[in-house]
């Protein structure tokens, strides 16, 4: 399956503890032309964020070794401003809002369709329009 991109290919960090879900999400994103590094815990995600730059973080929230919230706290502490996509069965955008203040973010509730993932990723990677000056 090849999906047309409307944004340039991105370097994405995916943190998901459920191996089959991680493999599926990585496959969908790679088929769309993205470069994906995937890990199974928040601890591993933080280690990679210390070593590399990414265009987007996709994270589950409830993982046994370092939660998605801890990964987001690391972004805030290091002043890393990248878009964040939460993919979890435990959250919606309102529930995640406080921990993500100041970040461009979205949330998908599991399960979701591959096209929903790609549309959300595309929206997060597309630069927000500049505010129009008031006349």
Tell me how far apart the alpha carbons of residues 54 and 75 are, in angstroms, rounded to a whole number.
Answer: 11
Residue 14 C-beta-side C-alpha neighbours within 13 Å = 26
| Structural contact between residues 55 and 29, judged by C-beta atoms closer than 8 angstroms | no
Long-range CB pairs of 79-83, under 8 A, 24+ apart, other chains included: 80/49, 82/54, 82/55, 82/56, 82/57, 83/55, 83/56, 83/57, 83/124, 83/125
| Domains defined for the chain, CATH in brackets | 11-125 (3.40.50.2300)
Q: In this predicted structure, what is the pLDDT of residue 5?
A: 43
**Average pLDDT score, the chain:** 84
Q: What is the pLDDT of residues 70-120, one digit of tens each?
A: 998 899 899 988 999 998 876 544 455 556 666 678 888 888 999 999 999
Whether the predicted pLDDT of 2 surpasses 80: no
Calculate mean pLDDT across residues 12-35: 96
């Amino acid at each position: 399956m090849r999906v047309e991109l409307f944004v340039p290919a991105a370097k994405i960090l995916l943190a998901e503890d459920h191996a089959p879900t991680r493999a599926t999400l990585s496959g969908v994103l790679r088929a769309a032309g993205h470069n994906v590094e995937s890990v199974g815990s928040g601890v591993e995600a933080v280690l990679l964020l210390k070593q590399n730059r990414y265009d987007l973080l996709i994270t589950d929230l409830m993982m046994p070794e370092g939660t998605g919230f801890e990964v987001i706290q690391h972004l805030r502490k290091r002043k890393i401003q990248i878009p964040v996509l939460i993919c979890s069965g435990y959250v919606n955008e309102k529930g995640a809002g406080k921990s993500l203040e100041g970040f461009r973010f979205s949330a998908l509730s599991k399960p979701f369709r591959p096209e929903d993932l790609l549309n959300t990723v595309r929206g997060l990677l597309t630069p927000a329009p500049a505010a129009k000056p008031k006349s």
